[in-house]
Structure 1
Amino acid sequence: MLSDAAAGMEEPVDALLVNSPPPIRLEDAERLARACYPGYAQCVPLSGERDMNFRISRADGGSLTLKFINGAESLDETRMQIAVLKHLEARQGGLGTVRAPHHQPADTAGLAADSGIGPGCDDGAATQDWLSFRISEVAGPVRVRAYGFLPGRVGTAMSAGPQSWRAVGRAAGQLDAQLADFEHPAAHRLFLWDACQVARVRPMLEAVESLDERARIAAYLDAFEQDVVPALAALPSQIIHNDLSPSNILADEAGTDLVGILDFGDMVHAPRIAEIAIAASYQMMVPGNPLDVLSAVVAGYESVLPLAPRERRHVLDLVLARLVQRMVIPSWRALRFPGNGAYILRSRAAATALFNELYDEWNRGAR
């Protein structure tokens, strides 16, 4: 049930913001693992905001992530996430490539014994790229797919310093180089977490309690729509990861380099500088001069993919865009899900402080 404050607010297009993960239990995941992923030895729950995830450990020591997909995710978006893992796997292993999980098709030989599990269906034909899983708690089938579990330390273990910041930028550049020839129609969708579409948060601004914050965000959005959007349309664009946050990167033991990139569910077609801006916005939370962090991330990216001056000019615009998203969208969601408000708002204060600090610099002419 919605809170009174949320009841009159406009609903966004993105159903993933309001649709709960499928109610999959551990025993459900174990049942599917036994039927379709031979060698299964152990299954443990993993965290996930939109989907229900489990780690399957196999007797041979290998591991897979088993993802029970949110019902609001379109079939095209599922196809895109599978296609990108296949694309990246074909390009991994050489110099200058960044690791991503491999896609793991299901073994459908064991399906005959379980009527609740079936192969996926794509344009009328069966596919092993995903499975169709039925449970009594959900009216329709739940899509399930699996991919490799990458070893490494969580991205929050990255040390705060120029070497690490350049490493983040370099990995973003390497990934974008690998994605430069990847295309998929689902990446051109309307998506609330696309920084270039940040003005779509306007109907949600009432969720921001502070009138001063709300006014500042509205002023930023006015300038973004008038001055930045036309300029972005002329910049080099491609499909980007769009969410290189610490939760989606893996660090080495020293905490100074990246060893893997996860979760391609937010991919969009956008100016490639958005990749830099989004990755940098999370690294810029450390004490000190955030623009020094941004410069280091840009330098790392440019060690792989040089930027034109017209691209560099708009990186800060998109840093602010991502910070606005991190301020407004969690505020809106916390009103709709008050019981989970503390978790939803866990990083909003830090994003707000950084936005306020950068906004003054941006408003003085840094843009």
Structure 2
Amino acid sequence: MLSNAAAGMEDPVDALLVNSPPPVRQEDAERVARACYPGYAQCAPLSGERDMNFRISRADGESLTLKFINGAESLDETRMQIAVLKHLEARRSGMGPVRAPHHQPADAAGLAADSDLRPGCDDGAMAQDWLDFLVPAVAGPVRVRAYGYLPGRAGTAMAAGPQSWHAVGRAAGLLDVQLADFEHPAAHRLFLWDACQVARVRPMLGAVESPDERARIAAYLDVFEQDVVPALAALPSQIIHNDLSPSNILVNEAGTDLAGILDFGDMVHAPRIAEIAIAASYQMTAAGNPLDVLSAVVAGYESVSPLTPQERRRVLDLVLARLVQRMAIPSWRALRFPGNGAYILRSRAAATALFNELYDEWSQGAR
């Protein structure tokens, strides 16, 4: 049961926070793969918070990720994610060691073999960017797309140290260089995980159990709205990945460099320093001084793209913004999905500890 405070909170605009993944079974994924991704016969489920994902593989080991998309994701957001993979593939020679998955269109010839499959968008005469799949348990069709499955170690295997933190910043810089000339209207949407829109979590604060933490967050949001938001409007902005967390990166065998970047579903148009702040916030929970970690990530980014003094001044503001999001949004969601609460809250404690550690220095003038 929701607490009185939580029960009175208004629902956020972002339906993806409250909409469950589509009820797609492994046999459904195998059926779609047989029809429209010929040769990819093996199928295994993958984890995912919003969507239902499967790894489909060929006999030679080549694999794709087959994504059955959450019904709350707009068609424009799907188009944006497809468009960015095409954009990055066209510029792959400039990406250095960091890879992104390639977009894999479906073979339209297989559509005639299954009456529950419908074509999506044409990408040539005989290929589809996505498919619509009719699932009996869902009122409408489920959108499906596929992209390359990148091998590599999970981002949680990243070693804690200056070399690794510098590599995270450098990868963020390399990616942002490639995204600098990418534009899409969906990146300008209202989005609760946009750090620049962090004040939108206010209605969720009733779900944060500690009164002290609620008060600190509210005080931070007051300053953010009055002081930080106007300053951010004057900084260089572009489309950014917006979620370079350990869940969305792959690392090399040594754990000291990035080997791949995944999941572009949270992309937004924002100050480029938000990319640095968000990536750093996940690394700053390592033992030691978190500001040393932030400095290393910033230095890595600046090895690719120098920042202005005004940008450097605002990085810590956006680190705290992401930490506030990681405290408030999971707390709110866990009340609505108690059966999945452990997974939803998996990083809240680390975010809370880091926010508390940074808040006093920030409030005394570090910002």
TM-score normalised by the chain length of structure 2: 0.97
Summarize the alignment of residues 202-241 of structure 1 with structure 2, pairs less than 5 Å apart.
202-241=202-241
| Residues 15, 72 of structure 2: 8 Å contact kept | yes
Q: Does 1:151 align with 2:151?
A: yes
CA separation of 1:234 and 1:126: change in aligned 2, threshold 3 A? farther
The alignment partner of 2:106 has SS state of: coil
Aligned Cα root-mean-square deviation (Å): 1.4
Aligned to 1:108: 108
Q: Deviations over 1:119-157 (max 9, x none)?
A: 1158xx997000010011001000000000011100011
Aligned to 1:40: 40
The alignment partner of 2:147 has SS state of: strand
The alignment partner of 1:139 has SS state of: coil
The range that moved more, 280-289 or 90-99, is 90-99
Aligned to 2:252: 252
Which residue identity is paired with 2:262?
L
Aligned to 1:169: 169
| Residues 91, 178 of structure 2: 8 Å contact kept | yes
Aligned to 1:289: 289
Residue 263 (structure 1) shift: 0.1
Q: Deviations over 1:240-273 (max 9, x none)?
A: 0000000100000010000110000000000000
The alignment partner of 2:41 has SS state of: strand
The alignment partner of 2:330 has SS state of: helix
Aligned to 2:312: 312
Aligned to 1:272: 272
Summarize the alignment of residues 52-63 of structure 1 with structure 2, pairs less than 5 Å apart.
52-63=52-63
**Structure 1: how far apart are the matches of 2:273 and 2:79?**
25
Q: Does 1:350 align with 2:350?
A: yes
Residue 354 (structure 1) shift: 0.2
Residue 95 (structure 1) shift: 6.0
**Structure 1: how far apart are the matches of 2:2 and 2:38?**
46
The alignment partner of 1:244 has SS state of: coil
**Structure 2: how far apart are the matches of 1:87 and 1:132?**
23
TM-score normalised by the chain length of structure 1: 0.97
Which ranges of structure 1 fall in alignment gaps of 5 or more residues? none
| Residues 91, 97 of structure 1: 8 Å contact kept | no
Q: Does 1:192 align with 2:195?
A: no
Residue 35 (structure 1) shift: 0.3
**Structure 1: how far apart are the matches of 2:200 and 2:290?**
26
**Structure 1: how far apart are the matches of 2:48 and 2:198?**
24
The range that moved more, 32-41 or 183-192, is 32-41
Which residue identity is paired with 1:187?
A
**Structure 1: how far apart are the matches of 2:189 and 2:152?**
32
**Structure 2: how far apart are the matches of 1:212 and 1:304?**
40
The range that moved more, 352-361 or 2-11, is 2-11
**Structure 1: how far apart are the matches of 2:322 and 2:347?**
13
Q: Calculate percent identity across the aligned residue pairs.
A: 87
| Residues 97, 174 of structure 1: 8 Å contact kept | no
**Structure 1: how far apart are the matches of 2:201 and 2:126?**
39
The alignment partner of 1:314 has SS state of: helix
Which ranges of structure 2 fall in alignment gaps of 5 or more residues? none
Residue 193 (structure 1) shift: 0.1
Which residue identity is paired with 1:214?
R
The alignment partner of 2:44 has SS state of: strand
The alignment partner of 1:67 has SS state of: strand
| Residues 120, 126 of structure 1: 8 Å contact kept | no
Aligned to 1:340: 340
The alignment partner of 2:92 has SS state of: coil
Q: Deviations over 1:35-55 (max 9, x none)?
A: 000111200000000000000
**Structure 2: how far apart are the matches of 1:93 and 1:310?**
31
The alignment partner of 1:93 has SS state of: helix
Residue 96 (structure 1) shift: 3.5
Which residue identity is paired with 1:67?
K
Residue 335 (structure 1) shift: 0.9
Number of equivalenced pairs? 364
Deviating beyond 3 angstroms after TM superposition, the runs of 4 or more aligned structure 1 residues are 2-7, 94-97
Q: Deviations over 1:286-326 (max 9, x none)?
A: 11000000000000000000000000000000000000000
The alignment partner of 1:225 has SS state of: helix
Q: Deviations over 1:61-86 (max 9, x none)?
A: 21000000000000000000000000
CA separation of 1:240 and 1:13: change in aligned 2, threshold 3 A? same
**Structure 2: how far apart are the matches of 1:163 and 1:297?**
9
Which residue identity is paired with 2:286?
V
